[in-house]
């Protein structure tokens, strides 16, 4: 019998990381993710790991850099202002191609903002965030179970591509309680890779570095990085598409807002409005192609992992749906990627709450009704 445990989201992040073989955590307190470091401070010593409270997020991410370069599974966790402080370090980690996992339990901004849930760090997470041409793989769980699934995926992905993976959550996910099924077997971290700085006994010295002082060399490095990002974009897209094949309106949402939209979809269907839900699981790479297919009326329904397609066939000859992107963001951030994917083929609308306000299913339902009325008029 798999073990079912009731947990809080932030604790799930910690336990999932430990189950995924992570033994090193460096962080700095910030609401609403404090239970992550607190959990790690308690649990990591039990499993022979290291928890260290850094003097700042700047120090924390650079400790992660050092430990990742030393060849182990390492992570940090923070919330928006702290993640902003980490950006230089994240850029170095990408430049030096080090694997690690960074959790952002997003809160309201800008500035000190609020401590309630938000999704207003989407641009920062998916478009680079710090300086230079780089990408993070960004995973957006929408349940505690999925935190486990994606954390289990995050470390191997980070190692495979030698690139940081960001888990983009929010305060709702961090604070909610849900039962989870723990993995049957905890994962084992692989031995330190051959490039890690472990001491050069019996080999030539290793160097962890992001400096390419000659312009040509730096461009060559960038070309290599871009080729890697292209490969990730081809192979690692993940999303969930529900009821999209007959939908007149497809909601697009990620993370905890996708749950709100799921309820809104059910309310709408109960009223006879054909609503679907498209939930990106990888925010980068963004599932553009799948969305484009839905817009063109050829999309499929189901869960697609690692760039596969799944589920029921497309709608045949009927036109694609209108899209309603719902985010905890004032102006909308992911909606820009939705528009790029849909590319003018179908209308893309936006509804957002911000500053820590979570939209309700009924609010979303209102938007769906209004949209329908507008189309009919």
Partner 1 sequence: MRQIFGRPASLTDVPMHYCPGCTHGIIHRLVAEVMDELGIREKTIGIASVGCSVFAYEYFNCDMQQASHGRAPAVATGIKRVWPDRVVFTYQGDGDLASIGAGEIVHAAARGENITVIFVNNAVYGMTGGQMAPTTLLGQKTTTTPLGREARRNGMPVRVVELLSQLDGPAYLARVSVHNPKMVNTAKRAIRAAFQAQLDGRGFSLVEVLSTCPTNWGLTPVEALKWLEDNMIPYYPLGEVRTPSSASRQAGVPAAASTATAPTPAAFGATGTAPATRGKEGE
By CB under 8 A, name the binding residues for partner 1. 24, 26, 50, 52, 54-56, 58-60, 62-72, 74, 88-89, 92, 96, 197-202, 205-211
- For 256, the enclosing helix (H) or strand (E) is helix 255-270
Q: CB nearer to partner 1: give 205 or 344.
A: 205
**Residue 67 structure tokens:** 């430990």
Q: How far is the CB of 209 from partner 1 (least distance, A)?
A: 4
Q: CB nearer to partner 1: give 50 or 303.
A: 50
Q: Which residues contact 312 (CB under 8 A, 6 or more apart)?
A: 245, 300, 301, 302
Q: How far is the CB of 227 from partner 1 (least distance, A)?
A: 23
Q: CB nearer to partner 1: give 133 or 230.
A: 133
117 vs 174: CA distance, rounded Å: 9
Q: How far is the CB of 362 from partner 1 (least distance, A)?
A: 47
Q: Which residues contact 224 (CB under 8 A, 6 or more apart)?
A: none
- Report the greatest alpha carbon distance in the chain: 76
76 vs 117: CA distance, rounded Å: 19
Question: Are 180 and 12 within 8 A, CB to CB?
Answer: yes
Question: 162: phi > 0 → left, psi -120 to 50 → alpha, else beta; which?
Answer: left
User: How many other β-carbons are positioned within 10 Å of the β-carbon of residue 372?
Assistant: 18
Q: How far is the CB of 334 from partner 1 (least distance, A)?
A: 30
Of 146, 166, 197, nearest in space to 285 by CA: 166
3-state secondary structure of 218: helix
300 vs 314: CA distance, rounded Å: 5
Q: CB nearer to partner 1: give 41 or 50.
A: 50
Q: CB nearer to partner 1: give 202 or 316.
A: 202
Q: How far is the CB of 196 from partner 1 (least distance, A)?
A: 8
Q: How far is the CB of 67 from partner 1 (least distance, A)?
A: 4
**Residue 291 structure tokens:** 């969305």
Q: CB nearer to partner 1: give 211 or 374.
A: 211
Q: CB nearer to partner 1: give 184 or 188.
A: 188
Q: How far is the CB of 192 from partner 1 (least distance, A)?
A: 9
């Amino acid at each position: 019998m798999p073990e079912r445990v009731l947990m809080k989201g932030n604790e799930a992040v910690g336990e999932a990381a430990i189950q995924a073989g992570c033994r090193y955590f460096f962080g700095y307190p910030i609401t609403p993710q404090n239970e992550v470091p607190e959990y790690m401070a308690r649990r990591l010593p039990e499993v022979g790991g290291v928890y260290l409270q850094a003097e700042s997020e700047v120090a924390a991410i650079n400790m992660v850099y050092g430990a990742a370069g030393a060849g182990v599974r390492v992570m940090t966790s923070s919330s928006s202002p702290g993640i902003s402080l980490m950006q230089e370090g994240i850029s170095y980690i990408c430049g030096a191609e080090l694997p690690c996992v960074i959790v952002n339990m997003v809160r309201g901004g800008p500035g000190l903002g609020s401590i309630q849930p938000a999704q207003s760090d989407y641009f920062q997470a998916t478009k680079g965030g710090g300086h230079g041409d780089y990408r993070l793989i960004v995973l957006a769980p929408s349940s505690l179970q999925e935190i486990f699934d994606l954390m289990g995926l995050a470390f191997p992905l980070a190692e495979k591509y030698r690139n940081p993976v960001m888990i983009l959550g929010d305060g709702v996910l961090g604070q909610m309680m849900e039962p989870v099924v723990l993995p049957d077997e905890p994962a084992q971290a692989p031995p330190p890779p051959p490039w890690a700085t472990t001491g050069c006994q019996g080999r030539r010295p290793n160097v962890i570095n992001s400096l390419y002082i000659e312009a040509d060399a730096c461009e060559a490095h960038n070309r290599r990085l871009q080729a890697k990002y292209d490969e990730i974009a081809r192979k690692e897209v993940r999303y969930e598409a529900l009821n999209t094949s007959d939908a007149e309106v497809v909601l697009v949402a990620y993370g905890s807002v996708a749950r709100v939209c799921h309820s809104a979809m059910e309310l709408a269907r109960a009223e006879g409005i054909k609503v679907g839900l498209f939930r990106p699981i990888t925010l980068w790479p963004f599932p553009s192609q799948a969305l484009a297919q839905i817009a063109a009326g050829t999309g499929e329904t189901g869960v697609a992992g690692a760039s596969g397609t799944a589920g029921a066939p497309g709608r045949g000859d009927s036109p694609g749906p209108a899209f309603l992107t719902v985010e905890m963001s004032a102006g909308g951030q992911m909606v820009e990627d939705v528009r790029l994917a849909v590319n003018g083929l179908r209308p893309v609308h936006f509804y957002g709450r911000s500053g820590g306000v979570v939209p309700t299913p009924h609010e979303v339902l209102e938007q769906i009704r209004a949209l329908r009325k507008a189309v009919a008029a």
